Structure 1
Amino acid sequence: MDALALLLDRFRQAFPHQPFTLWLLAPHDRRFRLLYQEEDLADAHRPSMESAGEASPANGERYQWEHLGACVLLRFFFPQAGQAAVVLAPDDTRTLSSDSMEILWLSFQLYLAEETIRAQKDEWTKLLQGIRSISSKLDIDSIVRDIIGNALAVIPAADAGLLHLYDSAIDRLVPKATVGFHDRVFQYFKLRIGESIAGKVYQDGKARIYRTHPDTREAMMDLSEENYRFLNEAKELGDLNGLMCVPITVESERIGVLVLHQFHQDKVFTDHDLSVLQGFADQTSIALQNAKLYADARAKHDALVKRNEIHESLKQLSMQNKGTETIVRALARMTSTTILFADWLEQRHYPEDSWMPFAWEELFLLVGHKRTPVSVRLRTVGNDDQLYVLYPLGNGSAFLGCLLLTVTGRELTELQRVTIEQGSAVLTLDLVKKQSLSSIMYKRAHDLFLGLLDSRGADLQDRAQVLGLHLHTPTLVVFAYVSRCHDLSVLEANLHRLVTRWKWEFSACQILVYGFHNHVTMLAQPKTTAELKEMTARLHSAVEDWEQSGEASLSIGVGSVFPGIERIGKSFDEAKKAAHYLLNRGRFGVARYGDLGVNRLILNQSKEEIDAFILEVFGPLWEDRGKHQELEHTLLAYMACSQSPQQTARELHIHVNTLYQRLRKIEELLLIDLRQPDDVLKVQLACHLRRES
């Protein structure tokens, strides 16, 4: 039974005597779309969801009841995945239990997951079709039109596409291929560098996305009057509701841009669509480059046939899920070179039995921020130089890994280079697919964990057994914020890398680890104190490694170890508070909740509030630093010595009477009395916060 059939079956069980319609508002949708409608639903009871519109959940609820005209409206909310609605014919709607509502909510969630997987499968198929088109056709115009057509097929909001290439002879961007435009755009439309959206994307290499007519119109304000007229004749610009544009690059040189337009669709562009379009643009760049190679080497027919066979073999290996190592070994065999693939996200290399010539940190420094091959020469044990060529693989700005080629004696041939590039594309798509599936599994793990926290009694034990938890073994939660990472693709890659690292580093004790939004959660059951100490040391090591890479920072909170599963929620709350304590102060590292001490009292205070309190206490001493610096130093030493005059005097190398004189001046300046417990406590707290900030 597919997800839709299961969903309908659940609703018929829940509302056996009430006709209903199902509506869906997914991330791509501008408005609700009809998913299912009962045939016997009376016309009077078929209200449109346009009158209801989109709603926001109250207090994070998953569902809520409303009235819609003469009917009953039941909404379901799915964070990051949209909304669903059920319109029921008026009847004596029976009250459903919370379990029944959860089942209906999960049934919708299952349908959304199936729809997402189906869309990703379509993307994968079209991307592979594009790769196949690159090597199976010689007509570059046909290849480019196929790529644009595939992009339109997998991006539901788009209904027209246009490819611009740079013509150095006239210093203009000119149309090379279109889908959905009148041919007139080919004849006269020519853009200056920096003109309109396409000109700016070509100029700075930054992809752009616009989701509404006003935003798109404003971005095209500098389009020349002549070009506007030509483009408007090819397609009515008054109907333009959205636009995406990405650069097309061959090696390090931009050669054009790929643009998708939205004129008549009800969907809306998403950031994921922009990432997919960049993939098609990368295919376009390969297609254009291959066409040039073919024109330059038309006589080398046998080499071109061989290239097609190689690509077909790689594609088949990928489609048959033969695995990364099989693809890498096939690449090495096809190119007759020694090839190693380094998977940065999972910190593994293939083939696994080969020697890795670079440390992971070195590899990231060399190619982590590059998207073109880098040549590196290393001195071997026998004092011989060995040349390596590194091909970085990335998804947007996220570094995924790289291929390492051992080059001996001669440069790579054109056929070898093309084979490596095709293999890189297949490996990149395979990694992106794996990452997308991991994101879905992380969402499921997040829901399972929250369900565990909300459970009690027998339900708690059942859920614990599903997760593999030992009911009476001491348990703790680790919660890590990933900060200083503003690029979503880089953030997603870092989450995946951290989750993978913790899975194998803590395989002996971790029960569940997943990434969600900008944090990673781990549920663990360390069996001994030594295992707990080793876990803490490894967490500190992870923080140091992340700081060295410079891509992100980790603020990790560790909850207390509690016996039994009933107090997992408390350990989770402690871990989040400890991590939030570090994050609030702009610090990275590892904080155990039990080690925070008095800092637990100020967990919810922002850095600004703490700085304001410190300034309130020490402000009079800071008004004239040169004059009062000695008094400030004296006060800090006095508090550090637990208000012991003799110890403070020894520490400062002054007579105790001199200390008393300074303390009286401090009391006068700060308007305090160091004999009053309240004043002493205020100064002690300010000194402590200074050390912590």
Structure 2
Amino acid sequence: MHTLSYLNEKLSAWLAIAPMSIWVRLPRDRQFRLAYTVTPSAAVAFGTLLTAPATLPAHEQERYRYEEIEDKHLLRFFFAEEGQALIWLDSPSEAASTLTDDQWELLWLGLKLHLAEEAIASKNAEWSKLLAGIRSISGTLDTEAIIRDIIGNALSVIPAADAGLLHLYDPAIDRLVPKATVGFHDTLFKDFRLKIGESIAGKVFLDGQPRLYRSHPETTQAMRDISADNFHSLNHAKDLQNLNGLLCVPISIAEKRIGVLVLHQFHQDNEFTDYDLALLQGFADQTSVALQNAELYAETKQAYENMATLSAQLQARHDDLIKRNKIHESIKQMSLQNKDAATIVKALSRMTAKPIQFVDWLEEGHEAFAQLPYFNRDELHTLLAGRRHPLFVHLYSAGRADSEYCYLYPLINGSVLLGCLIIPSAKTGLSELARMTIEQGRSVLTLDLVKKQSISSVLYKRAHDLFQEVIGSKGNDLLERARTLGLVPHAHYLVVYAHLSHCHDLALLEANIHRLVNRWKRDFAPAQVLTYGFHNHVTLLLQMNGTEERKALSEQLQTAVEEWERAQEASLSIGVGSMIEGVEHLGKSFEEARKAAHYLAARNRSGVIHYADLGVNRLMLNQSQADIDAFVADVFAPFWAEPQKYQEWEHTLVTYIKCSQSPQQTARELHIHVNTLYQRLKKVEELLEIDLHRPEDLLKVQLACHLRYE
């Protein structure tokens, strides 16, 4: 400004005129702008005058000229790179046209100095903004704030721009997405999504070439392929009708393009220049550095957080391993010290802070299952049959809004369910440490149960040998061995013999025998004197006091059979010998019970039968089932040769024998006349070659019918 004041003073001295106005037009300006005046009203009028014809080209090598426009006197100066300048004289003077060359040169140099000062000020502003951008990059890691500052700095040093927009590429949707704006409405962030290659920004991102547009038609033509939705979104954020120019440059990290930076001109009078494009690329490079720094910081922060998390996990794992070692050592000591199951379960409950319940499948009776809060015996068997891994159970209670949860841990030896642990749990399950504790405890409990079962098997073998010695002895040896078993010489005894069949898994058979022995010891105490299992049978010796006990015994045995059948693990055939007095007759009761049990087993039947109830079937005890089947087949063979033809005759004969050879009762049963019955029986006798009035033939038919349907 001091330079222009100096020129004003010089002109006033040379021409003796009133103060002047100085106007300049740089290459980016669309028209002249006022640089110096002391008469504002005249400057406004002159600015209106210069709107149309003031921009004139200079002739080659021309540096200044004198002009008159509508009685106005102008001194025009031309500068090759910097633009033009005008001095408007407020009062016309003839001397203006007679300025000497030195005076013209002084004015030209003064104006050139003023333009240089403006250029220097502009450059200083640019460098200030660039340095501010660099400081913001190094001074903060708030990416959004840095980007907004960079766009604002670009707008302040590129005067032709008055709005800015930064797009970043989102690989998840394969679109350019707005991340920061200046001069646009925030609705742009919601819907504006550019495809790669779409409109100006999409093309710059695609090929990496910066683009510059100086006019509305030129810009509109370049945006002609923008989608309708994106055009509507952009136009809603800023009226595109006023868009007069645009700069767009790529943002890259190394060779990878990550977005574009766009400056828009809506209301400025200046024009964009190639220098503006290069300057904007510098701001874009700043943006890439900021984004890269933010990315590196985020990665470093994430790595630090991961390290912290890993360190915490390692510490937790270390603490966990210490706890595991303590738990393992504690459980190992319990195993070495032969602690019983109750002690082990109590220790597990203390370690896990859970009220654990232990169910011994082999030894616990029904009264123990009745005390379980959630399950009965059959439910547990259904849930755990064939299962080796823990089961998480969601429990619903009628009349309660809340639910309960628990884990069932089966104790398995091969294919045999030995028992289970019931552990209350939260909905989220058990902790890892609790799981580990229970798993180790489960192994020790399983080992304890297997050990008990093995010891029991040895004891059963010993009891079997002793009992066989008793029933095989006589005289003094008998009395001595009876005392060994705690038998009273003249008491009343009864033997029960159970045969287990259809159980081909030897381990399961042994478990079933162990379970049956333990149940009978409980159910028949105190009458039970001796109970043991051997191979596939269980022997029970009871001391009896009367027939009433014998009746109760049958009911208890039948209940045991029914419950056993529900488990479907083995078929139970039970024989009961006669009640005897004196130990010398134990062998008789044992043989009777054994024969009765084998009678049922040979016919694939389960249940309970007393030897005394066998009746005529005693005669068949020593006969094989094959011999019995052959006898029945021999009697009924003529019927079976043509079953459709003789089915009615066979039914008549069987009904006749069933009705004790009563013609009237048989006729009623068959709903036929007695004479018709006689005719059928006559044909039956002819077919079977028998005479039903002959005792031998009648007995043969009766026996065959009995054996067939028995």
Q: Structure 2: how far apart are the matches of 1:468 and 1:297?
A: 64
Deviations 1:93-117 (A, max 9, x none): xxxxxxxxxxxxxxxxxxxxxxxxx
Paired residues for 1:48-447 under 5 Å: 299-347=316-364, 355-383=372-400, 384-447=402-465
Name the SS of the counterpart of 2:490 in structure 1.
coil
User: Is 1:573 matched up with 2:591?
Assistant: yes
Over 3 Å counting, the alpha-carbon distance change for 1:530 and 1:297 in structure 2 is farther
Give the alignment partner of residue 632 of structure 1, picking from 641, 647, 650: 650
| CA separation of 1:301 and 1:604: change in aligned 2, threshold 3 A | same
Q: Among 460, 485, 489, which residue is 1:471 paired with? A: 489
Distance 1:298 1:568 in 2: 71
- Residues 676-687 of structure 1: matches in 2 within 5 Å? 676-687=694-705
Give the match's secondary structure for 1:579: helix
SS state at 1:567 partner: helix
- Aligned counterparts, 1:493-504, within 5 A: 493-504=511-522
Q: Do 2:405 and 2:427's aligned partners in 1 also have CA atoms closer than 8 Å?
A: no
Is 1:688 aligned with 2:703? no
The reply on whether 1:620 has 2:638 as its aligned counterpart is yes
Deviation of residue 624 (structure 1)? Answer: 2.3
In the alignment, which residue of structure 2 is the partner of 1:14? none
Give the conservation status (yes or no) of the 8 Å contact 1:349–1:356. no
Asked if structure 1 preserves the Cα contact closer than 8 Å seen for 2:366 and 2:377, the reply is: no
> 2:357 touches 2:422 (CA, 8 Å); kept in 1?
yes
Report the 3-state secondary structure (helix = DSSP H, G, I; strand = E; otherwise coil) of the residue aligned with 1:322. Answer: coil
Structure 1 residue 315, shift from structure 2 partner: 2.2
Residues 557 and 590 in structure 1, CA contact (< 8 A), matched pair in contact too: yes
Cα distance in 2 for residues equivalent to 1:431 and 1:499:
15
Which stretches of structure 1, 4 residues or longer, exceed 3 Å deviation after superposition?
296-299, 348-356
- Does structure 1 conserve the Cα–Cα contact (< 8 Å) formed by 2:365 and 2:519? no
Structure 1 residues 381, 411: CA separation in 2 closer, same or farther (over 3 Å shift)? same
Taking structure 1 as reference, are residues 350 and 425 closer, same or farther at Cα in structure 2, changes over 3 Å only? Answer: farther
AA at the equivalent of 1:517: H
Q: TM-score, normalised by structure 2?
A: 0.54
CA radius of gyration, larger in: 2
Shift of 1:352: 9.7
Of 515-524 and 408-417, the range deviating more from structure 2:
408-417
Letter in 2 for 1:301: H
Contact 1:340 1:351 in 2 (8 A): no
Deviations 1:241-276 (A, max 9, x none): xxxxxxxxxxxxxxxxxxxxxxxxxxxxxxxxxxxx
Q: Secondary structure at the match of 1:657?
A: helix
Q: Within 5 A, what are the aligned runs for 1:490-529? A: 490-529=508-547
Contact conserved, 1:344 with 1:401, CA < 8 A, in 2?
Answer: yes
Distance 2:631 2:476 in 1: 48
CA-CA distance at 1:435 after TM superposition: 0.8
Q: CA deviation digits over 1:589-643, x for unaligned, max 9? A: 1111000000000012222222222121112112222222221111111111111
1:310/1:419 contact within 8 Å kept: yes
Residue 424 of structure 2 aligns to a residue whose secondary structure is strand
Select which of 638, 662, 678 maps to 1:644: 662
Contact kept, 8 Å, 1:340 with 1:349, in 2: the verdict is no
| d(CA) in 1 for partners of 2:399, 2:484 | 55
- Classify 1:351/1:647 alpha carbon distance in 2 versus 1 (closer, same or farther; 3 Å): closer
Q: Which letter does structure 2 place at the counterpart of 1:580?
A: H
| Match for residue 671 of structure 1 among 649, 669, 689 | 689
Partner in structure 2 of residue 531 of structure 1: 549
2:355–2:423 contact (8 Å) kept in structure 1: yes
Q: Is the 8 A contact 1:478 1:572 kept in 2?
A: yes
Percent identical residues? 59
Aligned: 1:563 with 2:581: yes
Structure 1 counterpart of 2:303: none
Q: CA deviation at 1:651?
A: 2.0
What SS does the corresponding residue of 1:338 show, helix, strand or coil? coil
- Cα deviation 1:137-183 (Å, max 9, x = unaligned): xxxxxxxxxxxxxxxxxxxxxxxxxxxxxxxxxxxxxxxxxxxxxxx
**Compared with structure 1, are the counterparts of its residues 572 and 353 closer, same or farther at alpha carbon in structure 2 (3 Å cutoff)?**
closer
Q: Is the 8 A contact 1:477 1:558 kept in 2?
A: yes
Q: 1:550 maps to which residue?
A: 568
Taking a change above 3 Å as real, the CA distance of residues 583 and 395 of structure 1, as seen in their structure-2 partners, is same
Q: CA deviation at 1:401?
A: 0.7
CA contact (8 A) 1:368 1:392 kept: no
Is contact 2:369–2:377 with CA below 8 Å preserved after alignment? no
Q: 1:350 to 1:331 in 2, by over 3 A?
A: farther
Note if contact 1:367-1:392 (Cα within 8 Å) is conserved in structure 2. Answer: yes
Q: Secondary structure at the match of 1:566?
A: helix
Shift of 1:381: 4.6
Asked if the contact 1:343/1:401 (under 8 Å) is kept, the reply is: yes
Do the aligned partners of 2:369 and 2:376 also contact (CA within 8 Å) in 1? no
The answer as to whether partners of 1:343 and 1:349 remain within 8 angstroms in 2 is: no
Secondary structure of 1:489's aligned partner: helix
Q: RMSD in angstroms over aligned alpha carbons?
A: 2.1
Q: CA deviation at 1:320?
A: 2.3
Determine helix, strand or coil for the equivalent of 2:492: coil
1:413-438 CA-to-partner distances (Å, cap 9, x unmatched) read 11111111000000001111111111
For this pair of structures, how many residues does the alignment match?
398
Q: Which residue of 2 aligns with 1:582?
A: 600
Amino acid at match of 1:314: I
Counterpart contact for 2:370–2:376, Cα < 8 Å: no
Give yes or no for contact 1:317–1:327 (8 Å, CA) kept in 2. Answer: yes
Query: Aligned letter for 2:603?
Result: R
- Counterpart Cα distance in 2 of 1:434 and 1:573: 30
The answer to whether the 8 Å contact 1:442/1:516 transfers is: yes
